[in-house]
Copies of this chain bind each other. A is one copy, B any other.
Amino acid sequence: MCRWLAYSGSPIRLEELLVKRDHSLIDQSLHSRQGATTTNGDGFGVGWYDDETPRLYRSTHPAWNDRNLRELAAGISSPLFFAHIRASTGSAIQETNTHPFRYGRWLWMHNGLIREFSRVRRELVLAIDDSLYPSIEGTTDSETMFYLALTFGLEDDPIAAVERTVGLIEDAGRKHDIAFPIQMTVATTDGRTIWAFRYSSEGNSRTLYFSTRMDALKALYPESAELASLSDETRVVVSEPLGDLPGAWNEAPESHVGIVQPGVDELRPFIPS
């Protein structure tokens, strides 16, 4: 459906991960290897933090031919950014349907889908808090999930909020006899911590990888100047690896959430409630 990437660590220019890798996100927009579709050409978005304020650049053009994306990726450095390339599962190609979505200091992006979304959409939208409702700008399942998570306390306890969101979606789906209501990898952040979820109702989720701890990677590749320049806290989370460096990537287990944060990162089971 889509491909995404989340970065946290030493400030780097966005192009390092979006453009310059062998299998950079722009390359994945034409040649995804592990995605549901090879081509992810229905728009893209980048969200980055600038003094703790999230900024967005989103476009309906394919990532591979958008010149502004290359300019900005070369010109902008950030210690924490999200990038997403879209393959629409049906909703319109427009900037407001393009990830990442933003609310206050939070960003959200999703790969996967709520199955038969049009049948459960109304019920899910109704569960969104009154005060949040006017901020919805698009029509995707992914943005609906974000606003449900905000309704259920994303800003206070992100994991619990996403567990309730997914629980609600599965309840709604089951009421409509939808066998496997949700398929997802999701990343969300407040600009400091990244939470990355891998889950699907059928227990067969889209791929998700965390880069290896930077100290371990540096030990593996002591001669790499590039790795040496990155802090030990640096971490990348991706739908599919950005290259073939042995030892660099670790697949997340089914039904888990990874927490990339100052200090020791964590991996926990994810159980919809």
Q: Which residues of A contact B (CB under 8 A)?
A: 30, 38-39, 41-42, 48, 50, 53, 55-62, 64-65, 67-68, 71-72, 74-76, 88, 91-96, 118-119, 121-122, 125-126, 130, 133-134, 136-139
Shortest beta-carbon distance from A267 to chain B in Å: 32
User: Could you list some 18 contacts between A and B, CB below 8 A?
Assistant: A30-B39, A39-B41, A41-B41, A41-B64, A55-B71, A55-B75, A57-B71, A58-B68, A59-B68, A60-B61, A72-B72, A75-B76, A92-B94, A118-B134, A121-B134, A122-B130, A126-B126, A137-B139
Which chain B residues lie closer than 8 Å to A48 at the CB level? 75
Q: A39-B41, A56-B67, A118-B134 are in contact. List 9 more A-B contacts (CB 8 A).
A: A30-B39, A48-B75, A57-B71, A58-B67, A60-B61, A65-B88, A94-B94, A122-B133, A126-B126
Determine how many copies of this chain the complex contains: 4
* A56-B71, A133-B121 known; A92 vs B96 contact (CB < 8 Å): yes
Shortest beta-carbon distance from A201 to chain B in Å: 21
**Docked-complex contact A55 and B41, CB < 8 angstroms:** no
Q: Say which residue of B55, B59, B95 sits within 8 Å of A94 (CB atoms).
A: B95
**Docked-complex contact A92 and B92, CB < 8 angstroms:** no
7 closest A-B pairs by CB: A118-B134, A94-B94, A55-B75, A122-B133, A65-B93, A41-B41, A50-B75
CA distance A188 to B48 in the complex (A): 31
Which chain B residues lie closer than 8 Å to A61 at the CB level? 60-61, 93
Which chain B residues lie closer than 8 Å to A76 at the CB level? 75-76
In the complex, the chain B residue whose C-beta lies closest to that of A39 is: B39
In the complex, the chain B residue whose C-beta lies closest to that of A59 is: B68
CA distance A96 to B179 in the complex (A): 31
CA distance A142 to B174 in the complex (A): 34
**Docked-complex contact A68 and B75, CB < 8 angstroms:** no
Which chain B residues lie closer than 8 Å to A55 at the CB level? 71-72, 74-75
Shortest beta-carbon distance from A53 to chain B in Å: 8
Which chain B residues lie closer than 8 Å to A92 at the CB level? 67, 94-96, 137
Which chain B residues lie closer than 8 Å to A42 at the CB level? 62, 65
**Docked-complex contact A136 and B134, CB < 8 angstroms:** no
Shortest beta-carbon distance from A31 to chain B in Å: 8
Which chain B residues lie closer than 8 Å to A72 at the CB level? 55, 57, 72
Which chain B residues lie closer than 8 Å to A133 at the CB level? 121-122
Which chain B residues lie closer than 8 Å to A50 at the CB level? 75
Which chain B residues lie closer than 8 Å to A38 at the CB level? 38-39
CA distance A68 to B92 in the complex (A): 12
